[in-house]
Amino acid sequence: MSKNDNPGDNDYQGYGGGDDGSDSEGGYDGEPGEDDFVDDGSGLPDFLQAGNEGTNLDDDSEYDFDDAEFQAGADAVYAELLARIGEANPQPRLEPTRRAVELLGDPHHAYPVIHIAGTNGKTSTSRITESILRAYGLKTGLLTSPHLTRVNERIVIDGQPISNRALVENWGDIRPYLEIVDADLADKGESELTFFEALTVLAFASFADAPVDVAVIEVGMGGEWDSTNVADGQVAVFTPVALDHTQRLGNTIGEIARTKSGIIKPVAHVVSASQTTEALGELRRASELTESTFAVQGDDFSLESTTVAVGGQVISVKGIAASYPDLFLPLFGDHQAQNATLAIAAVESFLGGGDTPLVADVLAEGLAEATSPGRLQIIGTEPTVLVDAAHNPHGAAALAAAIRTYFTFDEVAVVVGVLQDKDADGIIAALAPVATRFYVTQSESDRAVDADDLAYIVRTHTDEVYTDDSAEAALEAAREWANDGEKRAVLVTGSITLVGDAIRLATIDRWKR
């Protein structure tokens, strides 16, 4: 189809031949598998020693992530996305995305949506929610951002990252429509569709092509004008709201919460984590204006208890509709227990309007299968190397608390790199109490703070600072230090891009033994 052909106005265009990856042949070979190491008695959780690098693919998956036949095409799709305005510069607008999906026949209306906004915990809450829904036998779509190592991770269909083939074919189908919108924008003197706007359209189209029974959509930034907000979420979910992206979302928690509350649609079910008084007021006001139900953690549902367990924790949750005791969650950190509690309330709201209890065995299965790559994920043993995508003070504080509670290391080397728009001093202040020493570096991102500049900030908190602008060199130095002592570990954090760099190195060099 040429860009001048008429795509139609009302009917979703179909996308013949799209593949969600479930019938692909071959095995996932992008990460080490169970043959790459054996149980060395280190005390690491069994599921981590079995080769799970934090991805939602298991060793028996028939999904071929690196499908060679379509790899070049998938790389080309990513290159086309990267040529657009980047995610660091989102456009506060909805109309271009709305026009693109309209030309495609509104694929985002082909399935119900659970829409998730907030400052911290969005991705983990989204992934746990999706896992529970999939345990119910629903075919799920999941959109999260950013990715750690490959763009495929952002669009997940029925628990699998979108295949290279589906990525290429769906992109080929939507490209003419994106070009129509780009041309219209250019005629008006406006910028073309951004990376995230185009990716959002691709995700909505891919989910309709699959097709999925329900889509769990994580907001990119903010809410009101985020491109994902062209969808009408039957359930709007809010993780804790804190200060972040203040230059775009506002300088107070109230202003930020007001922007995020824009995802609440008429007569929706709204579910919120515990919030500050200021944020809670904004979310409650938006719920009342839209005649939506409003359930908040602490009043309508709660985390009753959490106990450290091998491979994660055991939680007991009082949901909106019922209580669910003694559930195993294979994720570390009290904050993940809070995320799971919120996810349970979200699924209760979606499946039964908050009135129908979840099936205990199904819920247990969904939680037990939940993963959250890049969130307190162990990517190396001998020495132990953990990565966590904490990139603001609130997230860093939760990470530090989890290190103290869930692990028994005597000394921890923190390899840290931060992006330019983040509160570097606040992040370092939160991490300093658990850091024996810092290895300061920078990721390959153009937005990475220079290692020397970041080291200057770190030295206001401790003298144990080592600097290298090469992430690979900094990681190797930290691992050598950890190997020289008992009960030492390496923690990589500060930015998702640095975590992604570490995961790639760990995979190539096989840090897990």
4 within some domain: no
Beta-carbon contacts of residue 262 (< 8 Å; ≥ 6 apart): 222, 223, 224, 225, 229, 286
Same domain, 292 and 397: no
Same domain, 415 and 272: no
Same domain, 181 and 69: yes
Domain stop point among 298, 332, 355: 298
pTM score: 0.84
Q: Indicate the residue type of 219.
A: V
Same domain, 398 and 276: no
127 within some domain: yes
Two structure tokens written together for 277: 């008084």
* 442/454 Cα distance (integer angstroms): 9
pLDDT tens for the chain, 513 residues long, are 333 333 333 333 333 333 333 333 232 233 333 333 334 433 333 333 333 333 333 333 334 544 778 999 999 999 999 999 987 777 889 999 999 999 999 999 999 999 999 988 999 999 999 999 999 999 999 999 999 999 999 999 999 999 999 999 999 999 999 999 999 999 999 999 999 999 999 999 999 999 999 999 999 987 888 999 999 999 999 999 987 665 666 679 899 999 999 999 999 999 999 999 999 999 999 999 999 999 999 999 999 999 999 999 999 999 999 999 999 999 999 999 999 999 999 999 999 999 999 999 999 999 999 999 999 999 999 999 999 999 999 899 999 999 999 999 999 999 999 998 889 999 999 999 999 999 999 998 888 999 999 999 999 999 999 999 999 999 999 999 999 999 999 999 999 999 999 999 999 999 987
Residue 485 DSSP symbol: S
Q: Please tell me the predicted confidence (pLDDT) of residue 268.
A: 98
Report how far apart, in Å, the C-alpha atoms of 145 and of each of 90, 124, 208 are.
Answer: 13, 11, 19
Same domain, 75 and 181: yes
Domain stop point among 298, 316, 337: 298
> Is residue 388 classed as helix, strand or coil in its secondary structure?
coil
List, as one string, the DSSP characters of 160-194: EEPPHHHHHHHHHHHHHHHHHHHHHHHHTT-PPPP
Q: What is the 3-state secondary structure (H, E, C) of 52-116?
A: CCCCCCCCCCCCCCCCHHHHHHHHHHHHHHHCCCCCCCCCCCCHHHHHHHHHCCCHHHCCCEEEE
Same domain, 209 and 72: yes
Is the distance from CB of 466 to CB of 474 less than 8 angstroms?
Answer: yes
Domain stop point among 298, 324, 348: 298
Is the distance from CB of 242 to CB of 120 less than 8 angstroms?
Answer: yes
Same domain, 416 and 278: no
Nearest-10 Cα torsion for 152, 203, 500, 461 = -170
Same domain, 119 and 228: yes
465 within some domain: yes
Task: Please list the helix, strand and coil fractions of the chain in percent, rounded to the nearest 5, in that order.
Answer: 40, 15, 40
Residues of the domain holding 425: 377-509
Q: Please tell me the predicted confidence (pLDDT) of residue 215.
A: 98
Residue 32 DSSP symbol: -
1 within some domain: no
For the beta sheet containing 113-117, the strands, ordered from the edge strand earlier in sequence to the opposite edge, are 160-161, 155-157, 140-143, 214-218, 113-117, 235-238, 269-272, 293-296
Is the distance from CB of 449 to CB of 424 less than 8 angstroms?
Answer: yes
Task: Report the CATH number that the domain containing residue 382 is assigned in CATH.
Answer: 3.90.190.20
Determine if the peptide bond prior to 211 is cis (ω within 30°): yes
Is the distance from CB of 232 to CB of 113 less than 8 angstroms?
Answer: yes
Can you say whether residue 243 is alpha, beta or left, with left for phi > 0 and alpha for psi between -120 and 50 degrees? beta
Same domain, 67 and 214: yes
Same domain, 101 and 207: yes
Give the count of domains, the chain: 2
Same domain, 180 and 60: yes
Q: Please tell me the predicted confidence (pLDDT) of residue 88.
A: 74
Q: Indicate the residue type of 291.
A: E
Q: Please tell me the predicted confidence (pLDDT) of residue 249.
A: 66
